[in-house]
Amino acid sequence: MRKLFQSWLFSNQPETIYEIQGACKQCGSCCKNINLCEAGKWVSKKSHFQKMVAENAEYARLTITGKNKKGTLIFSCTWLDANNHCKDYDNRLDICQMFPNKMVITNQGEIPEGCGYSIRIHRSFDVVLKNTIRREKIVNRWQRLKNGFKKKISRSPFRKKERLS
Q: pLDDT tens-digit profile of 150-165?
A: 666 666 565 555 555 4
Calpha distance 108→70 (Å, rounded): 7
Buried b (16+ CB within 10 A) or exposed e, 116-133: ebeeeeeeeeebeebeee
Paired residues of 22 in beta bridges: 117
Nearest to 95 by CA among 33, 161, 159: 33
How confident is residue 119, by pLDDT bands cut at 50, 70 and 90?
confident
Residue 12 has pLDDT above 90, yes or no: no
Backbone angles phi, psi at 76, to 5 degrees: -130, 145
Q: Residue 42 has what pLDDT? A: 85
pTM of this structure? 0.57
